[in-house]
Chain A
Amino acid sequence: MDERPNKTLKISAAPHLASGASVERIMRNVVLALLPTTGFAVYAFGLAALLSLFTATLTCVLAEHLLCKLAGRPSTVKDWSVVITGLLYGLTLPPGLPLWMVCLGGLIAVAMGKALYGGLGYNLFNPALVGRAFLQAAFPTAMTTWTPAFSADRFTSLPGSMLAPPFGTPHYDQISGATPLAAMKFEQTLSDTVDLFLGLTSGSLGETCSLLILLGGLYLIARRMMNWRIPAGIFTAVILLSGLLHLSDAQAYPSPLFMLFSGGLMLGAMFMATDMVASPITPLGCYLYGVLIGALVVVIRLWGGMPEGVMYAILLANAVSPLIDRLIQPVAYGTRRSKDS
């Protein structure tokens, strides 16, 4: 009995165990899940994509760091959430967008989308989409001018438009045909669904290859780091709604598969709508939120003035999310009726 425990004891409050989950770990895994999509963007659009994504991410990280310093808070870049914002934001941009616009939008995303609300955990909207929405409103032409994917010189030269001086009119050397959605809307031609699924069409940097986006999302779902109910709700609504319309008039309305794999739907459903902070917290709330997004996407795409509606659908649903949370609360134990007595 020589072993005398005699030191001052630590005294902490129960529970004295933790699962080991952490915000950093979730965020790092989301970045990981986005890497295949990012890689494909670079493969499809070459140097332009590389430079855009790099600029977007760097701008967001720097903006967050500086804004934290300005606000007198410790920098929060180490929680990795701003890396996701930057990367996601970059992936939504059209290839060949002038770099100064990329910077400006990134700054807006972090400043107006996140810092203004108080930083991580408080943002009402998905910050990446706030940045993109700003660009869409400010520079509608640049945001809907697409350079072609898989051009032969994509690894050797940059589109001249990227280096356009601020506030000048960018000059595009190559302009691709319309994106599949624009073609559907304005020219009534449908792209091949397999091409869409594999990402062989044009569009924003990271939205073209549905397959890789889906795989990244499934990885997060398997690791229980993403709420699968949100994409499930979105897909259900899109399939049902566009399926019914397609059945009623196959000429006027595209098939559900086209709707699923075109435009930003896959990226939006898997990585944008699922922003934990800006989505509801209860399982039922998440379904409703997903269904709302899916329905809005179909409505905007088919009847709105724009070819694409994913961004606005998600932003609108973000705004409704606190309301959903207020209306839908878990049913506490003891308030349900007893089942057999």
Chain B
Amino acid sequence: MNWMTRRSFPHGIHPQPAKDETQREPIRQFPFAPLMVIPLLQHIGKPAVTVVSEGQEVVRGQLIARPDGFLSVAMHAPASGVIRRIDRVPTLLGSMVPGIYLQPFPASTQEVCEGMPCPVETATPEEILAAIQQAGIVGLGGAGFPTHAKLQVPADKHIDTVIINGVECEPYLTTDHRVMLEQSADIYTGIRYVLKATGAARAIIAIEDNKRDAAEYLGAMLPSDLPVSIELVTVKYPQGAEKLLVSVLLNREVPTGGLPVDIHAAVINVATTAEIGRLLPRGRGIQERVVTITGPAVRRRGNYRIPIGTPLRFALETVGTSEDLSEVLVGGPMMGQAAPSLDIPITKGTSGVVAYTERETGHQPPIYPCVHCGDCLEACPMSLNPSQLGLLAAREHYQAMVDDFHLMTCFECGACSYVCPSHIPLAQRFRVAKAYIRKNQASVVRSQAS
């Protein structure tokens, strides 16, 4: 096939992809941990509400917590077993949230229980959105925004194009790549649901140019009645960011503070789409996901279908790690977070686990003042001025960062920190500044409300 590579967004960076070691590894099923840790908040919004009690036996796939309001999703048992405790569980952010400890039955067949199917032919858009919420589906790319909320089109707006995001521009990660190579039928079924739910006329599957095999395979498997096109985009980080993808593919720019729906588009991760196509026809809930476990400290690197709630410790023990394991990143190395402990579980948003050794983390280069080289400006995909933002951040002039230099447009991609020859922790400081601003705004809203 002859592909035309699309133009790309301005700026961006080219980190080493580091994907070779896992992109040819087929997805393998993971064993069950002796104790699963299931946070009730694995998404943006309100925690789910438990519908089981301590000591109760549950079947794999059974509903264990229901959504609490619109911005919330259901949780399902990742294994047949017994609910040991309903308590607080550790999370990636270091905080404790309500959650469930589940002890799987060791010798069980682990048959998955099914629920009410949601047939794509007859279901209404509302029914599809409700089914997605009941299936517990959130953005599997990492953001964790409830998918049904993302797909719901406000009454005064419309969506003409759905972009299926298979870009996977984070170094090391290859889950989306494998899903595209192994779950084409699920993806296309998922697209049928998504098109129907949003009323969009067409879908575009966006794939980075280093995954031509996936593009070719999906192209070959494309059902003739589906209004889907497959587009290759330039290999560049952060090509997969949804606002950039919209500009690249549709030549439309999401206005500041807006969402893709404002310009009639929705962007949804390809693995999330596959999950919709896999779960909804059988009325199942999400209880496992594909995770790339890789990095210099990992022995058996690869892509694994891992039950949600599997503690990182068990996951790393299963694949084996080297002696000098030093830091464990959840997500990719550019935007992922360092795990505060290995007791935290794999959640719905965990696309990868990257383990570093002392070699990657040992060297802390000195930080110099900004030398005005301008490299960060040429890296920033949002065309911000990270140098200026960095100077203001160091002085904690957070409001000026927002008012004069578009701080809230920064999505913490880390490209600026990556290139800075002075090793200034730019994105890191912007994260702090944004959190500060959000907290202040929230308290302003609260005091105005009272």
Contacts and interface: CB of A to CB of B under 8 A. Distances in A.
Given A25-B421, A334-B254, A16 B338 contact: yes
A120 B318 contact: no
Contacts of A1: 317-318, 320
Contact of A15 (B255, B360, B374, B417): B417
Interface residues of B, number: 81
B430 to A, nearest CB: 11
B402 to A, nearest CB: 12
A189 interface: no
Interface stretch (A57-65, A238-246, A254-262, A273-281): A273-281
Residue among B299, B318, B406 with most chain A CB within 10 A: B406
Contacts of A19: 13, 15, 418-419
B119 interface: no
Interface stretch (B74-82, B121-129, B377-385): B377-385
Interface string A1-40: 1011101011111111111011101100000000000000
Interface in B391-432: 405-406, 409, 412, 414-415, 417-423, 425, 427-428, 431
B317 A3 contact: yes
A14 B325 contact: no
A227 B372 CA distance: 11
Given A21-B375, A281-B387, A334-B409, A13 B370 contact: no
A9 B381 contact: no
A19 B263 CA distance: 34
A334 B368 contact: no
B257 interface: yes
A217 B257 CA distance: 42
Contacts of A283: 374, 377-378
Contact of A281 (B339, B377, B412): B377
Contact of B263 (A7, A15, A118, A341): A341
Given A3-B320, A338-B253, A338-B263, A17 B171 contact: yes
A23 B372 CA distance: 11
Residue among B328, B341, B371, B387 with most chain A CB within 10 A: B371
A223 interface: no
B431 A16 contact: no
Interface stretch (B54-62, B192-200, B214-222, B329-337): B329-337
B340 interface: yes
Interface string B56-89: 0000000000000000000000000000000000
A119 interface: yes
Given A10-B327, A22-B423, A339 B335 contact: no
Contacts of A119: 369
Contacts of A339: 251-253
A17 B371 contact: no
B256 A334 contact: yes
A229 to B, nearest CB: 10
B24 interface: no
Residue among A119, A337, A340 with most chain B CB within 10 A: A340
Interface stretch (A105-113, A298-306, A324-332): A324-332
B52 interface: no
Interface residues of A, number: 49
A3 B321 CA distance: 6
Interface string A121-149: 11000000000000000000000000000
Nearest to A335: B256
B253 A121 contact: no
Residue among A11, A278, A279, A339 with most chain B CB within 10 A: A11
Nearest to B421: A21
Given A22-B423, A121-B422, A332-B383, A15 B335 contact: yes
Nearest to A278: B372
A16 B355 CA distance: 11
A12 B264 contact: no
Given A15-B334, A121-B372, A339-B252, A330 B327 contact: no
Given A9-B342, A11-B340, A333-B243, A23 B258 contact: no
B338 A11 contact: yes
B201 interface: no
A14 B335 contact: yes
Contacts of A279: 372
B316 interface: yes
Contact of B329 (A16, A227, A340): A16
B356 interface: yes
A340 B252 contact: yes
A15 B418 contact: yes
Contact of A341 (B264, B326, B378, B420): B264
Given A15-B334, A18-B417, A10 B371 contact: no
B59 to A, nearest CB: 27
B356 to A, nearest CB: 7
Interface in B239-272: 243-244, 247, 251-258, 263-264
Contacts of B414: 14-15, 17
B374 A227 contact: yes
B337 A341 contact: no
A334 B243 contact: yes
Given A9-B328, A17-B418, A18-B418, 10 more contacts: A1-B320, A5-B316, A10-B326, A15-B334, A22-B421, A25-B421, A281-B374, A333-B247, A334-B256, A335-B255
Interface of B: 13, 15-16, 171, 243-244, 247, 251-258, 263-264, 299, 313, 316-318, 320-322, 325-329, 333-342, 354-356, 360-361, 365, 368-375, 377-378, 380-385, 387-388, 405-406, 409, 412, 414-415, 417-423, 425, 427-428, 431
Closest 10 CB pairs of A and B: A15-B414, A121-B369, A334-B256, A10-B327, A21-B421, A13-B428, A333-B382, A16-B333, A332-B406, A11-B338
